[in-house]
Amino acid sequence: MSQQFLIRGGSIVDSTRDETRADVLVRDGLVVEVGPNLDSAGAQVLDASGCVVAPGLVDIQVHFREPGREDSETIETGSRAAALGGFTAVVCMPNTNPPLDDAAVVQSVLSRGRQVGLCDVRVAGCITKSRAGRELAPLGELYDIGVRIFTDDGDCVADANLMRRAFEYSSALHGAVIAQHAEDPDLVAGGHMHEGEWSAKLGIPGRPSEAEIVIVARDIALARRTNGRYHVLHLSTAGAADLVRIAKAEGLRVTAECTPQHMTLTDAACEGYDPVFKMNPPLRSEIDRDGVRRALIDGTIDAIATDHAPHAPETKEVPFEEAPPGMLGVETAFAVAHTELVATNILTMRQLVARMSFQPAAIAGFGNEHGRPVAPGERANLVVIDPLATWTVDASKVASKSRNTPWAGRELTGRVRHTLLNGVPTVINQETTK
Amino acid sequence: MKHLLSVDDLGGRAGIERMLELTDGFLAVTRREIPKIPALVGKVIVTLFYEDSTRTRLSFETAAKRLSADTMTFSVASSSVKKGESLLDTVQTIEAMGIDAIVVRHGAAGTPHRIVNWTDASVINAGDGRHEHPTQALLDAFTLRRHRQGSLDGTRIAIVGDIVHSRVARSDVKIFNALGADVTLVGPPTLMPESLEDWGANVSYDLDEVLGDVDVVYLLRIQKERIAGGRFPSLREYSARWGLTAQRAARLKPDVVVMHPGPMNRGVEIANDVADADISLITEQVTNGVAVRMAVLYDLLANPTSSERVS
Contacts with A317 from chain B: Cβ below 8 Å? 86, 88
Say if CB A77 and CB A358 are below 8 A apart.
no
Residues A17 and A165 in one domain: no
Could you tell me if A171 and A73 lie in one domain? yes
B119-158 residues touching A, CB cutoff 8 A = 128-132
Number of domains into which chain A is organized: 2
Determine whether the interchain pair A195/B194 forms a contact, defined as Cβ–Cβ distance below 8 Å.
Answer: yes
Low-confidence ranges of chain A (pLDDT < 50): 1
Those residues with Cβ within 8 angstroms of residue A263's Cβ, 6 or more apart along the chain or in another chain: A289, A292, A293, A296, A304, A337, A340
Within-domain flag for A369 = no
A307 noted as active-site residue: yes
Q: Which residues in chain B are closer than 8 Å to A322, comparing Cβ atoms?
A: 108
Residues whose CB is less than 8 angstroms from the CB of residue A303 and which lie 6 or more positions away in sequence, other chains included: A58, A60, A255, A256, A257, A258, A355, A356, A359, A360, A363
A200 CB neighbours in chain B (<8 A) are 193-197, 199
Which residues of chain A have a CB within 8 Å of the CB of B194?
195-196, 199-200, 206, 208
CA angle B21, B25, B31 (to 5 degrees): 140
Inter-chain touch A321–B109, beta carbons under 8 Å: yes
CA dihedral B141, B143, B148, B153 (to 10 degrees): 0
Q: Closest chain B residue to A197 measured between Cα atoms?
A: B195
Closest by Cβ to A199, choosing from B114, B167, B194: B194
ipTM confidence score: 0.92
What CA–CA distance (Å, rounded) separates A112 from A67?
10
Helix axes B12-30, B282-301, angle to 10 degrees: 110
Sorted by sequence, the CB contacts under 8 Å of residue B303 that are 6+ apart come out as none
Is A305 found in the same domain as A259?
yes
Q: From the CB of residue A47, how many other CB atoms can be counted at a distance below 10 Å? A: 17
A297 within a domain of the structure (yes/no): yes
Shared domain check, A159 and A12: no
How do strand A23-27 and strand A52-55 relate by DSSP bridges?
unpaired
Question: B130 vs A206: CB contact, 8 Å cut-off?
Answer: no
Nearest to B109 among A202, A208, A318 (CB): A202
Which residue in the set A197, A273, A322 is minimally distant from B195, CB to CB?
Answer: A197
A321 closest CB neighbour out of B129, B195, B196: B129
Q: Where is A81: in which H helix or E strand?
A: helix A75-84
Output the domain CATH number for residue A240: 3.20.20.140
- Pick from B105, B130, B173 the residue to mutate for testing the A interface (most A CBs within 10 Å): B130
Q: Which residue of A has its CA nearest to B195?
A: A197
CATH number reported for the structural domain that contains residue A13 in this entry: 2.30.40.10
Could you tell me the end-to-end alpha-carbon distance of chain A, in angstroms, rounded to an integer? 20
Distance of alpha carbon B244 from alpha carbon B153, whole angstroms: 25
DSSP state of B101: E
3-state secondary structure of A323: coil
Q: Residues A278, A323: contact at Cβ < 8 Å?
A: yes
CB B288 within 8 A of CB B139: yes
What's the CATH code, domain B7-132+286-301? 3.40.50.1370
Answer yes or no: do A204 and B110 touch at CB < 8 A.
Answer: yes
Fold of B134-282: Rossmann fold (3.40.50)
Q: What is the DSSP string of A102-148?
A: SHHHHHHHHHHHHHH-SSEEEEPBPSBGGG-SSSB--HHHHHHTT--
pLDDT for the residue numbered A296: 98
Q: Is the peptide bond before A67 cis (omega within 30 degrees of 0)?
A: yes
Q: What is the per-residue pLDDT for B304?
A: 56
Closest CA in chain A for residue B6: A202
Asked if A92 and A140 sit in the same domain, the reply is yes
Q: Please enumerate residues of A whose Cβ is less than 8 A from a Cβ of B.
A: 195-197, 199-206, 208, 272-273, 314, 317-322
Question: What are the angstrom distances between the C-alpha of B273 and each of A368, B217, B246, B267?
Answer: 79, 15, 7, 9
A185: in domain:
yes
Q: Which of B87, B114, B130 sits opposite A203 (nearest CB)?
A: B130
Question: Is residue A191 one of the residues assigned to a domain?
Answer: yes
Q: Tell me: do A47 and A79 sit in the same domain.
A: no
Q: How many CB pairs under 8 A join A and B?
A: 67
Which among A195, A202, A318 is the nearest to B131, CB-wise?
A202
Please tell me if the domain spanning B7-132+286-301 has the same topology as the one spanning B134-282: yes
pLDDT given at position B303 = 66
**Structural domain of A101:** 56-364
Q: Calculate how close chain A gets to B24, using CA atoms only, in Å.
A: 30
Q: What are the residue ranges spanned by the domains of chain B?
A: 7-132+286-301, 134-282
- Looking at residue B285, its amino acid is Q
Question: Quick check: B174 contacting A, CB < 8 Å?
Answer: no
Which positions of chain B have pLDDT values less than 70? 303-311
Question: How far is residue A261's CA from residue A279's CA, in Å, rounded to a whole number?
Answer: 10
Please answer yes or no on whether A203 and B196 come within 8 Å at the CB atom: no
Best A198, A201, A288 residue to mutate vs chain B (most B CBs within 10 Å)? A201
Name the H helices within A278-385: 286-298, 313-316, 333-337, 349-353, 359-364
Exposed/middle/buried for A255, CB within 10 Å: 0-12, 13-18, 19+?
buried
Which residues of chain B are within 8 Å of residue A272 when distances are taken between CB atoms?
A: 113
Q: Give the minimum alpha-carbon distance from B105 to chain A in angstroms, rounded to a whole number.
A: 12
Active-site residue, selected from the candidate residues A59, A155, A307, A386 = A307
